[in-house]
Amino acid sequence: MVQVDYHRDLKQVQSDGQLAAWLSESNQRAPFDRLDWFTGLARHCGLEPLIAAARTESDIAVLPLRGHGGHLHALSNWYTFRYRPLASGGDGLLEALARDLARKARRVTLSGLPDEDRSASRLENAFRSTGWLVRRSACDTNHVLPVDGRSYEQYLAARPGKLRTTLKRKSGKVETRVLDRFDAEIWRAYEAIYAESWKPEEGSPAFLRAFAESEGKTGRLRLGVALADGEPVAAQMWTVEHGTAWIHKLAHREAAKPLSPGSVLSAALFRHVIDVDRVDLIDFGTGDDPYKRDWMEIVRPRYRLDMFRPGAPRNWPILGRDMLRSGAQYLAATAKRG
């Protein structure tokens, strides 16, 4: 017997023993998969959650969603490295969710899906098999570094020559510190540095600080700062858990750019997580920034799934435009071959 239910009040999720346990630290090994993360997005980022769950006595599948008006989206934003279904069993419960969601929504759009764990493929198959039209496309990239048992010095030896030269020339010009706890003074320095960096305006400073404070209490936070003549000029926020280091935020003062404080601080944090924390993987999140290729070794795609109920009239204009676009592309390709 499969039970499907939905929760807009995350306090209800917290009081649901099976659901709360499944979304806790005991079962979810990344911050983006836990109830605390979804609660932070709702509280600080203005997202309206809809936790969809299908379960039996022994298994459970959860899709953290948001939105109203018949078009649902992933419960995620720019702080989320990747979004995925959270399922303890096979694909049957995902199919049950997809089937039942046809009563709730005419369209479901999920972005940031990985497929190295088959998340994108499993969801695509579940929705297709239950009558939804599914459009799949690549939407982003994710840079990662498998450490493969190397020491930091072994890892560094494989970096591009330009980066190694920069670190050799600049490392003595800035002091670096790496903390495994939250420090309010360093956090204020991070916010000041970010305001003077090349980065766009921070999406939700309150969310990020609350997350950093929480991770600091668990010992998972790695907060780095670089100083020149005693003045903070670069800051970074990483977290470490279950063999993975996640690089969440980094910034440096534009005025200090000649000192390369961001690169020097990154090196200190790479050294720490590789030699001290002994992680297996370092994840640089999303975005194809060129500097990430200097530090990382593998690029993985992220996917968007756009699912439509074909019988919903409000979907017809979108589906019609897709058909016209596909027809035009086919005719253009045929003409080119001819």
Written as one string, the DSSP assignment of 178-191 is EESS--HHHHHHHH
Q: By percentage, how much of the chain surpasses pLDDT 70?
A: 96
Task: Give the pLDDT of residue 338.
Answer: 65
Residues 112 and 226 reside in one and the same domain: no
Query: How close are the terminal C-alpha atoms of the chain, in Å?
Result: 56
Number of domains in the chain: 2
Which of 78-82, 128-132, 288-292 is the least confident region?
Answer: 288-292
Of 279, 294, 312, which residue is a domain's last? Answer: 279
Residues 173 and 264 reside in one and the same domain: yes
Residues 260 and 319 reside in one and the same domain: no
Residues 28 and 79 reside in one and the same domain: yes
**295 located within any domain:** no
Residues 20 and 62 reside in one and the same domain: yes
**16 located within any domain:** yes
CATH, residue 314: 3.40.630
Write out pLDDT tens, residues 131-181. 999 999 999 999 999 999 999 999 999 999 999 999 999 999 999 999 999
The backbone torsions φ and ψ at residue 145, rounded to the nearest 5 degrees and listed phi first, read: -125, 110
What 3-state DSSP class applies to 225? strand
Q: Where are the alpha helices (DSSP H) in the chain?
A: 10-15, 17-22, 35-45, 92-101, 119-129, 152-157, 161-170, 184-195, 205-218, 261-271, 290-295, 316-337
Name the pairing type of β-strands 71-74 and 231-241: unpaired
pTM over 0.85: yes
Residues 203 and 119 reside in one and the same domain: no
β-partners of residue 235 are 225, 251
Task: Give the pLDDT of residue 164.
Answer: 97
The answer for residues whose C-beta is within 8 angstroms of residue 247's C-beta and 6 or more apart is: 236, 238, 269, 282, 283, 284, 285
Mean pLDDT, the chain, rounded, equals: 94
**166 located within any domain:** yes
pLDDT at residue 323 tops 90: no
CATH, residue 157: 3.40.630.30
Angle value at C-alpha 226, between 164 and 265, nearest 5 degrees: 30
Residue 288, both tokens = 């194809």
Residues 181 and 258 reside in one and the same domain: yes
Write out pLDDT tens, residues 198-254. 777 888 999 999 999 999 999 999 999 999 999 999 999 999 999 999 999 999 999
For residue 206, the enclosing domain spans 148-279
Residues 224 and 331 reside in one and the same domain: no
Residues 260 and 164 reside in one and the same domain: yes
Cβ neighbour number for residue 54 with a 10 Å cutoff: 25
**46 located within any domain:** yes
Write out pLDDT tens, residues 252-268. 999 999 999 999 999 99
Residues 10 and 135 reside in one and the same domain: yes
Task: Give the pLDDT of residue 199.
Answer: 77
d(CA 266, CA 236): 8
Amino acid at 280: D
**243 located within any domain:** yes
**7 located within any domain:** yes
Residues 135 and 155 reside in one and the same domain: no
**285 located within any domain:** no
**296 located within any domain:** no
Residues 76 and 98 reside in one and the same domain: yes
Place of tokens 């305006």: 201
